[in-house]
Structure 1
């Protein structure tokens, strides 16, 4: 908790000052009323909670949100900012600046991941090795993703930090919903097909979007990193120095 806010509420309020719509929240069926009440307290409850009958990792969860976004916005390919509800960020202004700086890259079709500038050789996080500089429409600094690497040992982590070429893998992303679905179709069509089938069987229920349980349970489990980000040619890492930590 931060003050009187839960971590979910803090995550949503962190976007104050960034032009965006009410969030789409993906949660387990068992947590639906807790989540709905937290959104209601922020005046952000707009039939925007997607219920997963069971967890299938991040690639399918983000696919459900992307499919919902493209259904809602038939006239454009909306930008999606993907955030976890269990992150702590000390410098919220720096966070918002990084999000704004990433927008031109996502507008241009890139899949942006936010890399945390490391201040110590942390062995509990995965890392992203940056590649060549990617020029953008502004003075923003972003790089091609050269490699995603698993949680390292201490000596390796020390070498990563000393090199200046590595960032912590935050698990935060920005891209157009349709671009994510295109890349998912290219690399994991089985995941996309299962999610499309689950969304075809949606049962609207008050403020909840209840997907087809049988279809979603048949979906393979996979992270967005393995399913898309490590495979796409359009991955870009945007450095973020905002006092970030993964509480969860």
Structure 2
């Protein structure tokens, strides 16, 4: 049995404005009906795979739960990092948690980012199966992608011999790592036939990995053990202890372990793969017309070539005329227009927006909560209008506000509303008024999503103006929603 460990704590700023800190790219839908995270879970499910372990941040824990439920999957455990510490502590914490879950038994664990695109799931599972005997023998196995271009944005893996044109996935010793090369070096590596892209995907037993940490990073092992041993259960989440976690070094699994061990093997993989590291990559992997144009519903191209036009709001119409090698992404609150050769500069642009105090740098207009989501429709002086969607059976916390009153109008479904001592059902086209300071709660008792329009009025409309009395999601005072 192989247990996947999916890493999904990254911010994905290179795909701004669709991917932002509040809702990064692994949870977004780039193609089809599933997010990158959901596709990763499905790809590593079925015969031979156990339930996945998830490592993520506190802000994404309910997004993870909701997206797993949407594809009818459940995690073995979801580890909550107090703060990001790169992949080495995250992978080690997963191995220690899995070992404890299996009563100390040595177990196969597959580590994978949750934001990669691998179209041929069965072909990838075949590559994993080819790596199992080597991993069971105590070696650490990584997976390398056969290069299709002289890519400078990835690290590379060096093989001992040149690959055949139609090679089968088979484990072999890894000669070494190559840092992200310049263009000329990348061209030489690709033409030589003895190098692969480093995908950051690994298979090993928990004992083999822990032994590697004992030898090469003993302090990180000891501190991570403390963070796991002192972890708190929060609903179905495992919160790693913040005090020892805060002292951990920020380090990748490559630097901390993989580049130091002498028992590392690689399985070459020749199928389609992408880490969607930029909008240029999204264009490259997209479904193009005869002119090389990729569009989404709501986007229209006229006399364009090698261009990506993406409109994310059904109310929008994005039209490109006479464009060549252009990326244009339209969101309700932000628009990105870039040449395909300059999409790596998006991360720098996000940093500039942050420095200017622009909320669009980190936050989407739609704010996701464990009970559903809301978005601001209009914001004015002393008032705000929101659309709120509450999942079936979900409930907001019992709460009150110091600085605002609220008017709720149900437009779809039925709401059960508590205002002080009164509890009543509000149907479509009905409304209720929540005075300033009133203790109130909104619930969806139905089987379908409930939608309402909320009008807030008052001197301060921030999400932190909240006194929480009861909450089924165990959030503390001042937490949003």
TM normalised by structure 2 equals: 0.49
- Decide whether aligned partners of structure 1 residues 152 and 202 sit closer, same or farther in structure 2, where only a CA change above 3 A counts: same
Structure 1: gaps (5+ residues): 134-138
Matched, 1:67 2:96: yes
Whichever of the two has the greater Rg, that structure is 2
SS at match of 2:113: coil
Distance 1:121 1:82 in 2: 26
Distance 1:67 1:75 in 2: 9
Match of 2:105 among 76, 83, 93: 76
The answer to which structure has the higher helix fraction is 1
Partner of 1:233 in structure 2?
262
Paired residues of 2:108 and 2:136 also in contact (CA < 8 A): yes
Alpha-carbon offset, residue 75 of structure 1:
5.6
Deviates more, 1:183-192 or 1:139-148: 139-148
Distance 1:141 1:15 in 2: 19
SS at match of 1:245: coil
SS at match of 1:83: strand
> Runs of at least 4 residues of structure 1 off by over 4 A?
none
The answer to which structure has the higher strand fraction is 2
Paired residues of 1:49 and 1:209 also in contact (CA < 8 A): yes
CA RMSD of aligned residues (A): 1.6
Alpha-carbon offset, residue 140 of structure 1:
5.1
Match of 1:152 among 181, 184, 192: 181
SS at match of 2:196: strand
TM normalised by structure 1 equals: 0.94
- Decide whether aligned partners of structure 1 residues 42 and 151 sit closer, same or farther in structure 2, where only a CA change above 3 A counts: same
SS at match of 1:56: coil
SS at match of 1:160: helix
Matched, 1:88 2:121: no
- Decide whether aligned partners of structure 1 residues 208 and 214 sit closer, same or farther in structure 2, where only a CA change above 3 A counts: same
Distance 1:95 1:178 in 2: 24
Alpha-carbon offset, residue 92 of structure 1:
1.8
Partner of 2:225 in structure 1?
196
C-alpha offsets along residues 99-157 of structure 1, whole Å, 9 cap, x if unaligned?
11111110111100000011111111110001369xxxxx8522211111111111111
Match of 1:4 among 33, 38, 49: 33
Paired residues of 2:220 and 2:248 also in contact (CA < 8 A): yes
Distance 2:156 2:241 in 1: 35
Structure 2: gaps (5+ residues): 1-28, 163-167, 278-481
C-alpha offsets along residues 6-31 of structure 1, whole Å, 9 cap, x if unaligned?
11100011124441111000001111
Distance 2:118 2:90 in 1: 23
Distance 1:5 1:221 in 2: 31
Alpha-carbon offset, residue 228 of structure 1:
0.7
SS at match of 1:246: coil
Matches within 5 A, 1:1-248: 1=29, 2-46=31-75, 48-74=77-103, 76-131=105-160, 141-248=170-277
Distance 2:47 2:158 in 1: 28
- Decide whether aligned partners of structure 1 residues 193 and 121 sit closer, same or farther in structure 2, where only a CA change above 3 A counts: same
SS at match of 2:184: helix
Higher relative contact order (CA 8 A, sep 6+): 1
- Decide whether aligned partners of structure 1 residues 21 and 47 sit closer, same or farther in structure 2, where only a CA change above 3 A counts: closer
Distance 1:197 1:98 in 2: 35
